[in-house]
Amino acid sequence: MANPATLGATGAAMDASRGQMSSDHHRGPRPKKALSRRNIMLYGVLIVVSLYYLLPLYVMIVTSLKGMPEIRMGNVFGPPLEVTFEPWAKAWSQACTGINCDGLSRGFFNSVQILIPSVLMSIAVASVSGYALSMWKFRGSEVFFTILLMGAFIPYQVMIYPVVLLLRNMGLFGSLSGLVLVHTVFGMPILVLLFRNYFASLPVELFKAARVDGAGFWQIFFRIMAPMSLPIFVVAMILQVTGIWNDFLFGVIYTRPDQYPMTVQLNNIVNSVQGVKEYNVNMAATLLTGLVPLTVYFVSGKLFVRGIAAGAVKG
């Protein structure tokens, strides 16, 4: 005799036991498969992309450690049979650019002389400007900031010739201090933006409390705001160091040959047309030039990421 009530009950019981089979023992974190399709895709792409970027670097390092006879044999990817540092030494102190044959070292010291004052000045001016624009708003400060920002979008090429005239009239054309000034000014838009946004993300009540405590413009900056802003100073420093060190255009236009920065000199070494192409020396010279930004990235990478994230939170 078919009893619908019993049937229903059995059905429910079966459902319950099936449920037990599949999920009742689940407990704790859900297990993850190590070799899921997603992971294979992800890591596969990552490996391919990193190889794509690392391979040229590898070729450069290997080539710079080979002698010219070995390079002529043509095995680009092969490791050096006989490791020699002679190309590095030559690139540093003997490679010829035009009439000078004292290597990249001259360019290196030129670059250092350009870099240090440019970085210090641009960061000093930009941090104070950003602080003033975010904390001490004055009539027209927003307009001023907008105009400054627009500077970031004007192509450099447009400004090259006017700047030449400007520097000539100031008597700074062709001198290192002229180039320092150019780097400082051209770094302003992005740096001020960076600092302004960072300071704007700090609690405004801190600023108010300091004012009630009788601190003035500079005291609030040096005693309260600057000590809280190490990450953004590091970001600004990295941006400026790499940007100014890698600059070619301003260096070649606004200085004289004996003051050329390292990048310009590197170009002159690599592109010199007389004699044999010394690939190993060229590679070594290139690596030497890239060493400074590379070191900066490695040393301060962590702070850089933290600072970028901090500056990006609030506009």
Report the C-alpha gap between 236 and 239 in whole angstroms: 5
Cβ proximity to other proteins, 46 vs 209, nearer residue:
209
Cβ proximity to other proteins, 209 vs 249, nearer residue:
209
Using CB under 8 A as the binding rule, whether residue 276 contacts other proteins is answered as no
Using CB under 8 A as the binding rule, whether residue 313 contacts other proteins is answered as no
Orientation of helix 176-201 relative to helix 279-312, angle to 10°: 30
Which residues have CB under 8 Å from 122's CB, separation 6+? 183, 184, 187, 188, 191, 236, 240
Give the residue, chosen from 4, 69, 74, 214, that forms a contact with other proteins under the rule CB under 8 A: 214
Classify residue 140 as exposed, middle or buried by CB count within 10 Å of its CB (0-12, 13-18, 19+).
Answer: exposed
- Distance of closest approach, residue 223 Cβ to other proteins, in angstroms: 7
Using CB under 8 A as the binding rule, whether residue 142 contacts other proteins is answered as no
Report the C-alpha gap between 128 and 124 in whole angstroms: 6
Cβ proximity to other proteins, 208 vs 314, nearer residue:
208
- Distance of closest approach, residue 134 Cβ to other proteins, in angstroms: 15
Q: Tell me, by CB under 8 A, how many residues bind other proteins.
A: 16
Give the residue, chosen from 28, 31, 155, 227, that forms a contact with other proteins under the rule CB under 8 A: 227
Give the residue, chosen from 47, 213, 217, 313, that forms a contact with other proteins under the rule CB under 8 A: 213
Restricting to residues 166-205, which ones interact with other proteins according to CB under 8 A? Answer: 203, 205
Q: Which residue has the tokens 């602080």?
A: 131
Using CB under 8 A as the binding rule, whether residue 212 contacts other proteins is answered as yes
Cβ proximity to other proteins, 194 vs 225, nearer residue:
225
- Distance of closest approach, residue 197 Cβ to other proteins, in angstroms: 19
| Contacting range for other proteins; rule: CB under 8 A; set: 50-58, 72-80, 158-166, 221-229 | 221-229
Using CB under 8 A as the binding rule, whether residue 211 contacts other proteins is answered as yes
- Distance of closest approach, residue 226 Cβ to other proteins, in angstroms: 10
User: Quick check: helix, strand or coil at residue 100?
Assistant: strand
Residue 217 has a CB neighbour count (10 Å cut-off) of 13
Give the residue, chosen from 149, 215, 252, 303, that forms a contact with other proteins under the rule CB under 8 A: 215
Classify residue 240 as exposed, middle or buried by CB count within 10 Å of its CB (0-12, 13-18, 19+).
Answer: buried
User: Quick check: helix, strand or coil at residue 139?
Assistant: coil
Report the C-alpha gap between 239 and 245 in whole angstroms: 10
